[in-house]
Amino acid sequence: MMEKLYLIARIADTRVALRSRSIHSVVAVGTPVEVPAAPPHVAGLFALRSRVFTLIDPHVVVGLAPVPAIAGQRVVVVDVAEHGYALLADAIEDVCFIDAPEARVTGKLLPGWARVAEAMIEHEGQSLLVVDPAHFITLPALKAA
Amino acid sequence: MDDLLTDFLAETAEILAEAGGALVAWEADPADRARLDAIFRLVHTIKGSSSFLALPRVTALSHAAEDALDQVRRGHRSANAELVTGVLGIVDRLSQLCALLGQAGAEPPGDDRDVIAALAADGETPEAPETTADGGEIQLRREDDFAIDAQGWRTIRVPLPLLDSVMTGVTDIVLARNEFARMLRETGADPSLIASFDRLSDSIAGMRQSVSQMRMQRIDKLFAPLPRIVRDLAQDLGKKIRFATSGGEVELDREMMENIRDPLIHIVRNAIDHGIEKLDDRVAAGKDITAGISVSARQSGNQIEIEVRDDGRGLSPDALVQKAIAARLLSAADARALTPREKLDLIFRPGFSTASKITAISGRGVGMDIVKANVEKIGGVVDLRNDEGRGLAVVLRVPMTLTIISGLMVRAAGQYFAIPRGSVREILLETNDSVRIERIGGGELVTVRGEPFPLLRLETVLGRQRDPGDDVEDRALVLVRPGQGQSYALSVAAIHDHEELVIKPAAPMIMATGLYAGTTLPDNGRPVLLLDVQGILAAAAIDASETGRGLDRTVEADASAAAERGAAQLLLFRDVGGRTRGVRLSVIERVEEVPALALFESAGRIQVQIGDDIFPVHAARLPEDHGALKLLRLYDGQMVLCYPIEAVIDIVRLPDMTQPAAAPGLIAGVALIGGEPVEIVDPFWLMEQYAPGVAAAAPAARQPVCRLADDRDGWGGNFLAPILRNAGYRVVPENSDEAADVLLCLTDAGICAQDGGDVPVIRLRASAAAASADDDTVYRYDRGALLDALRRHVGGGRP
């Protein structure tokens, strides 16, 4: 059943579905601390209990202008290679079971989205991109340079 | 796998590593009975535990080794290389068996007769040991065998992840405590609640300390396999090597130890393979054919320094350059521009190997570049001390623990950063007089007491703007020493404080900036980035090496700074009349700033109220303006006197030469400071003016009486008497009838006009220099010597 559980959220101005098993938790972020000289998609650091998480701005990853984090904004916490990251979400909508199968992405996506989207899924009469949060952590080489 | 077996394997692995090292050391000195006993006990322990777990092969092997060693102990057999090789063979077989046991969980079948027979090299074959547990004869233990086992019960094994989770737990508790403390402060809780909360805080702090100690281990464990490696390698290569370790008691975080194990072994292998010459070459070079390699550890502050030193051929910078060019790592033109140190650092370049051909020993694709990378990964530094032709020392400097370091918190661009305290040499305010900042060709440099440093502004390094809220007065320089022979000044907006910090690695893309060494959560619960002082240097691309910066001047500056510390210091100030005056720094308790309204006139004197205290002020009248007023607070150990000033100018060294004033009074004399005459205030005279009735305040106990003789110019009465009274003596004039305890003779001619009779006499002289070696007179401005002399003669006085 777990593999059918999705988190529906608005990330980088787009409604997406995140597979629940790839997500650690959803929390509210405190005031982040900036990281000077870090890649542009690093929005800062924040502490949750005694762990320090790196805040990622998905806008930058998909090629949009950065949007500053607001204290209390909700973030999607993921663990990638033993490091904790948090994706800034515009809105967290729901956690729900989607019985429909994941389908191949049809249509041409923007390059930024093409890199993070793995599939599409039909939910309540709408097509949602299924994204892997781990893809948001690293920027493509041409951007980082 | 069952817990008992896991414990056995962990313990045995440790014992085997230790035994290998101990055996090699014993081979070098077979007469060392204590060492033999220690090895015997180790083997005995394995045998005992294995028979418990029904591991017949392990029991048989350890029994054979124990047997052979026992024969040596009893004098039936002599210690020689064959015996040691035989026992080492058994140790190796045991290690293999343990590895298999760890994988399979059961002892694999096999035959160990080969290694057991090898041990019986003396010809006499020991009877095949019983291979069953019940048959294994357990020898009656001797007294000394108990000592070590008794200790074994006092420690327990704990899995590392458990320790880590305790550590995280404690950090969580600390953060929760801080949150709680903030809430208590804001709600204004009652004192009894705060008191018990403080008690909780103290125990949490203690616990945090203990937890970090739990992860500490003696560095001995790291050294244990080395003697074996050296022995085997030296035999393979036909070299003779004396190996020594020291500082094994130094403690290091367990995780840290894992990280430097391989680099250390690699460096030792390198030393044997490349560093130590062949026997013929050593003879030709006039060296002892037995080469020496030593590994030593020592703790300095928060860092551990591990040095691997050999007396081999050292590194040849020119040969390194040739090889680098041959390996196409470097063009000939670039090579010419290299400094000697940069030439040495070539061995850290990827793809560089110092051996002409890659040998089986060190050339396994693991070069010094990997060593360096591994050590730097954990915040360490690799340093070379080369003495071409005579040897090389490789120094690894690593932080004591990965998890808790002492960090200096600084501010820049409106946020906080931490700098590892271990690499901070000095902290100075930019406004300090010994600091000179210059802009040359777009770069900045700072000269501190004559020593120049490249200057980096932290905001610039981080690509940020200065925070407009920063106070220029707060800007400080942190003199950083990222590695031996390197230093630079980092300018920050302000210094905050220093804290014990729990360091965690930051996310890879943050580490990739090269500017940060990790993240930490200080007590306020907001993440702080730990700066990588070495990485900042690389990012700024500046040469921070100290060579050629005029080190001689540094030595000079250091010497003069030391002399300055030894000498008395003078506080220069501008008094309310606009004159520059000085007073000995040691009599000043502090500089107070008070509103003019705090001064009032009472009983014909000006007084000041500071807090709940009222002090006399040296002033003729109340100040006219109503602004703030600066007061020097002079303190003689009993009373406070405030001296109004306009501004503090500087603190300078009290010159040796002062011109005494003609008449006693506020000014004791004049000294030349920086070419300008400066009046030196006489605090003794000042204090005397305001002392609350010397006679009235005198305690009932009898004070020793000093009589001043030959006080022709009144110096004694006006200059000396206050000092003496201050020191607890009663001073009577020459013509007094009162019986004196001591006579102070103020003439320098050596003849005193008045006969002292049986009263002790102290003679004062006017010149600073003694007339001769046996001159027992005291220079009249030498207060200390005078009071000492008085105490010697009559006792009393206050020290």
Q: Residue B421 belongs to a domain with what CATH number? A: 2.40.50.180
B295: pLDDT confidence band, cut at 50, 70 and 90?
very high
Is the same domain home to B374 and B478? no
Residues from chain B contacting residue A35 (CB–CB below 8 Å)? 510, 513, 516, 529
Residue B550 has pLDDT above 60, yes or no: no
d(CA B5, CA B103) in angstroms, rounded, equals 12
Contact of A125 with chain B, judged by CB distance below 8 Å, is answered with: no
Q: With an 8 Å Cβ cutoff, is A73 touching chain B?
A: no
Q: CA-nearest residue of chain B to A49?
A: B172
* pLDDT (tens digit per residue) in A94-142: 888 888 788 787 777 787 788 888 888 888 888 888 888 888 887 654 3
Cα(B302)–Cα(B742) distance, rounded to whole angstroms? 56
Which chain A residues contact residue B515 at CB under 8 A? Answer: 36-37
pLDDT at B85: 83
Q: Is residue B320 part of a domain?
A: no
Q: How far A68 CA lies from chain B's nearest CA (Å)?
A: 17
- Collapsing DSSP to helix, strand or coil, B626 comes out as coil
Q: Is the pLDDT of residue B716 over 80?
A: no
A42 shares contact with chain B (CB less than 8 Å): yes
Residue A143 — pLDDT band, cuts 50, 70, 90? very low
Q: Per-residue confidence at B789, pLDDT binned at 50, 70, 90? A: confident
Write out the residue range of the structural domain in which residue B539 sits: 405-555
- Give the per-residue pLDDT at B668: 80
Q: Does A14 touch chain B (CB under 8 A)?
A: no
Separation of first and last alpha carbons in chain B: 74
* Strongest mean pLDDT among B122-126, B177-181, B349-353: B177-181
| Single residue among B127, B152, B177 that ends a domain in this structure | B152
Q: Which helix (H) or strand (E) holds A18?
A: strand A14-19
Same domain, B417 and B375: no
- The dihedral through the CA atoms of A15, A21, A22, A27 has a sign that is positive
What is the radius of gyration, based on Cα positions, of chain A?
15
Q: What does the block give as tokens for B594?
A: 């008070």
Determine whether the interchain pair B171/A33 forms a contact, defined as Cβ–Cβ distance below 8 Å.
Answer: no
Sheet (strand B613-616) strand order: B599-602, B605-610, B613-616
User: What ipTM does the predicted assembly reach?
Assistant: 0.87
CA distance B416 to B409: 7
When pLDDT is averaged across residues B371-398 and rounded to a whole number, the result is 82
* pLDDT at B483 (0 to 100): 64
The yes-or-no verdict on residue B142 having pLDDT over 50 is no
Among B416, B516, B526, B536, the strongest candidate for a mutation testing the A interface, having the largest count of A CBs within 10 A, is: B526
Q: Is B398 exposed, middle or buried, given 0-12, 13-18 or 19+ CB atoms closer than 10 A?
A: buried
Residues B378 and B235 in one domain: yes
In this complex, the residue of B413, B461, B510 whose CB is nearest that of residue A42 is B510
If asked whether residues B447 and B369 sit together in one domain, one would say no
> Which of A36, A45, A139 lies closest to B462 in CB terms?
A36
If asked whether residues B711 and B666 sit together in one domain, one would say: no
Burial status of residue B222 (CB atoms within 10 A of its CB: 0-12, 13-18, 19 or more): buried
CATH value at residue B366: 3.30.565.10
Of B488-502, B667-681, B751-765, the one with minimum mean pLDDT is B751-765
> Among residues B681, B614, B612, B673, which one has the least CA distance to residue B645?
B681
Strand B381-387 to B391-399 pairing? antiparallel
Quickly state the pLDDT bin for B122 (edges 50, 70, 90): low
Q: How far apart are CA B351 and CA B323, in angstroms?
A: 11
Q: Which residues of B touch A69 (CB under 8 A)?
A: none
Same domain, B83 and B148: yes
Return left, alpha or beta for B519; rule: phi > 0 is left, psi -120 to 50 is alpha, else beta. Answer: beta
Among the listed residues B329, B356, B357, B355, the one whose alpha carbon sits nearest the alpha carbon of residue B343: B329
Looking at the structure, do residues B110 and B19 belong to the same domain, yes or no? yes
- Give the pLDDT of residue B310: 92
- Per-residue pLDDT tens over the stretch B189-216: 788 888 888 888 888 888 877 877 777 8
Cβ of B168 and A85 within 8 Å?
A: no
Beta bridge partners of A8: A17, A94
Looking at the complex, report in whole angstroms how far the Cα of residue B406 sits from the nearest Cα belonging to chain A.
Answer: 18
The answer to whether residues B282 and B302 belong to one domain is: yes
Q: What is the pLDDT of residue B554?
A: 43
Any B CB within 8 A of A49 CB:
yes
Number of domains in chain B: 6
Q: Are residues B677 and B577 in the same domain?
A: yes
Average pLDDT over residues B427-453: 83
Asked whether the predicted pLDDT for residue B432 surpasses 60, the reply is yes
pTM recorded for the entire structure: 0.46
Whether A46 sits inside 8 A of B529 (CB atoms) is no
Distance from CA of B453 to the nearest CA of A (A): 24
Q: Higher model confidence: residue A46 or residue B122?
A: A46
**Distance between CA atoms of residues B285 and B283, nearest Å:** 5
- pLDDT tens track for A84-95: 899 888 888 888
Is B324 a domain residue? no
Looking at the structure, do residues B678 and B748 belong to the same domain, yes or no? no
Residue in the structure block whose two tokens are 């000092």: B723
Q: Cα–Cα distances in Å, from B783 out to A120, B7, B79, B719, B728?
A: 93, 72, 72, 11, 14
Residues of A in contact with B519 (CB under 8 A): 45, 52
The whole-chain average pLDDT of chain B stands at 77
Nearest Cβ partner for B527 among A36, A52, A137: A52
Q: If pLDDT is split at 50, 70 and 90, which confidence band does B546 have?
A: low
| Token pair listed for A40 | 């542009």
Whether chain B has a CB inside 8 Å of the CB on A45: the answer is yes
Q: Does residue A71 sit at the B interface (CB-CB below 8 Å)?
A: no
A2-138 CATH choice from 2.40.50.180, 3.40.309.10, 2.40.50.220, 3.30.460.10: 2.40.50.180
Domain end position, chosen among B101, B132, B152: B152
Task: Examine the pLDDT at B490 and tell me if it is beyond 70.
Answer: yes
- Which two structure tokens, joined as six digits, stand for A28? 């509210």
* Residue B539 one-letter amino acid: A
- Inform me whether the pLDDT recorded for B220 exceeds 60: yes
Q: Give the whole-angstrom CA distance, residue B199 versus residue B755.
A: 69
Q: Do B463 and A31 touch (CB under 8 A)?
A: no
Residue B308 resides in a domain = yes
Strand ordering across the sheet containing A91-97: A91-97, A5-11, A14-19, A126-131, A117-123
Are B354 and B347 a contacting pair, CB within 8 Å?
A: yes
Contact A46 B527 (CB under 8 A): yes
Average pLDDT rounded to a whole number, residues B260-279: 88
- Selected for mutation to probe chain A from B501, B509, B513, B532 (highest A CB count within 10 Å) is B509
Choose one of B689, B709, B729: the last residue of a domain: B689
Nearest CA in chain B to A52: B527
- Smallest CA–CA distance, residue B505 to chain A, in Å, is 9
* Domain annotation covers residue B719: yes
Question: How far does chain A reach from its first CA to its final CA, in angstroms?
Answer: 42
* B29, B97: one domain: yes
Torsions phi, psi of B512, nearest 5? Answer: -65, -20
Instruction: Give A17-21 contacts, CB < 8 A, sequence gap 24+.
Output: A17/A98, A17/A121, A17/A123, A17/A128, A17/A129, A17/A130, A17/A131, A18/A76, A18/A130, A18/A131, A18/A133, A19/A130, A19/A132, A20/A95
User: Is pLDDT above 80 for A81?
Assistant: no
DSSP state of A33: B
Domain of B126, CATH number, reads: 1.20.120.160
- Segment B662-677 shows an average pLDDT of 77
Suggest the residue from B409, B415, B519 to mutate for an interface test with chain A (most A CBs closer than 10 A): B519
Query: What is the spatial distance between Cα B302 and Cα B380, in angstroms, rounded to a whole number?
Result: 12
Chain B nearest C-alpha distance from A142 (Å): 15
Q: Give the C-alpha separation, B215 to B381, whole Å.
A: 22
Better pLDDT: B76 or B527: B527
CATH of the domain at B727: 3.40.50.2300
In a domain, B503, yes or no: yes
Is the same domain home to B235 and B268?
yes
Nearest residue, CB atoms, A37 vs list B515, B527, B528: B515
Burial bucket for residue B580 (CB in 10 Å: 0-12, 13-18, 19+)? middle
What is the number of other CB atoms lying within 10 angstroms of the CB of residue B37? 17
Q: Which of A81, A74, A73 is nearest to A18 (CA)?
A: A74
Strand partners of residue B308:
B295, B394
Looking at the domain assignment, is residue B346 inside a domain? no
Nearest CA in chain B to A39: B509
